[in-house]
């Protein structure tokens, strides 16, 4: 995963609460075999509506999503995070998040910014007033800022998650950094392996295994 220090850009005030993962990416999208391309399915039940905010010219290219309370509750599908990131979002701001969604986000490098409900409402108003207003999320400092107005709020990030975001460590990356430990473990004892059990076509070899 990519390291994230600063997320900067336009922000979209979604203005909805209780957006669950099925609304983020409906279940028919789960049938794909790829990890990419989910952006097209993001909020797909609303995307046909030309009035839907993501379809408005002013918000194109936004990198930050601002939503109401309980964003990302519901099914644990990681596809919700894939869809938001594939669309181009790098951070989501909301008064509260589904636990699993927040956890999944941290593992893929999507920054979740939890602010007080009145701050989120205020931010949404600022963005409706002027969609071109830049918003800056600073992961290291734990702040969200609208520089034009000097409006800044702090948010809490779990220190371990902050470190992962800043270093671009996903779970696998973290474990691969312990490759030497795994090598040592493998060398320390004889393990079962499938080596030699099957031939190239998956048939059981008849001769005794060495």
Partner 1 sequence: MSGRTLYDKIYDAHLVSATEGEGALLYIDLHLVHEVTSPQAFDGIRLNHRTVRRPDRTLATADHNVPTDPLDVPVADPVSRRQLEALEENCAEFGITLFPRGHENQGIVHVIGPELGVSQPGMTIVCGDSHTSTHGAFGALAFGIGTSEVEHVLATQTLPQSRARTMAVTVEGELPEGLSAKDVVLAIVGRLGTGGGAGYVIEYRGSVIESLSMEGRMTVCNMSIEAGARAGLVAPDETTFEYLRGRAGVPSGEEFERLVDHWRDLRSDSDAAFDAEIVMDASDLVPYMTWGTNPAHVAPVHGVVPSPESFPDPDERATAQRALEYMGLSAGTALTEVPVDVVFIGSCTNSRIEDLRVAARVAERGRVAPGVRALVVPGSHRVKTQAEAEGLDVIFRDAGFEWREPGCSMCLGMNPDQLTPGQRSASTSIATSRAARGGGGVRTSSLRPSPPPRRWSGTSQHRVTWRWGHEGRSHRRGPRRSPRPQ
Among 51, 76, 96, 138, binds partner 1 (CB under 8 A): 76
> By CB neighbour count within 10 A (0-12 exposed, 13-18 middle, 19+ buried), where does 199 fall?
exposed
Q: Could you tell me the two tokens for 145? A: 């800022």
Asked if 209 is part of the footprint of partner 1 (rule: CB under 8 A), the reply reads yes
Give the residue with the Cβ less far from partner 1, 5 or 178: 178
Q: By rule CB under 8 A, what string of x and - marks binding of each residue 105-144 to partner 1?
A: --x-------------------------------------
8 A C-beta contact, residue 42 and residue 84: yes
CA nearest 92: which of 72, 116, 119, 122?
A: 72
Asked if 78 is part of the footprint of partner 1 (rule: CB under 8 A), the reply reads yes
CA distance 68 to 15: 6
Q: SS3 helix, strand, coil % of the chain, rounded to 5? A: 40, 15, 45
- Residues 172-201, interacting with partner 1 (CB under 8 A): 172, 175-176, 178-179, 181-182, 185-186, 191-195, 197-198
Q: By rule CB under 8 A, what string of x and - marks binding of each residue 19-38 to partner 1?
A: --------x---xxxxxx--
Q: Could you tell me the two tokens for 184? A: 């040592």
Interacting residue ranges for partner 1, rule: CB under 8 A? 27, 31-36, 76, 78, 104, 107, 160, 170-172, 175-176, 178-179, 181-182, 185-186, 191-195, 197-198, 202-204, 208-209
């Amino acid at each position: 995963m990519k390291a994230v220090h600063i997320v900067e850009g336009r922000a979209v005030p979604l203005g909805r609460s209780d957006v669950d993962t099925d609304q983020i990416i409906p279940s028919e999208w789960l049938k794909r075999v790829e990890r990419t391309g989910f952006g097209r399915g993001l909020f797909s039940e609303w995307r046909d509506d030309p009035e839907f905010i993501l379809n408005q010219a002013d918000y194109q290219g936004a990198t930050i999503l601002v939503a109401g309370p309980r964003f990302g509750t519901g099914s644990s599908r990681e596809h919700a995070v894939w869809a938001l990131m594939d669309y181009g979002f790098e951070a989501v701001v909301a008064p509260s998040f589904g636990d699993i969604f927040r956890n999944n986000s941290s593992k893929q490098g999507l920054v979740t910014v939890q602010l007080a409900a009145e701050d989120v409402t205020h931010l949404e108003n600022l963005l409706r007033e002027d969609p071109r207003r830049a918003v800056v999320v600073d992961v290291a400092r734990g702040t969200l800022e609208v520089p034009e107005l000097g409006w800044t709020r702090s948010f809490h990030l779990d220190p371990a998650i902050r470190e992962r975001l800043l270093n671009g460590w996903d779970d696998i990356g973290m474990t691969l950094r312990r490759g030497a430990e795994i090598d040592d473990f493998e060398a320390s004892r004889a393990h079962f392996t499938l080596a030699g059990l099957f031939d190239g076509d998956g048939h059981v070899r008849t001769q005794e295994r060495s």
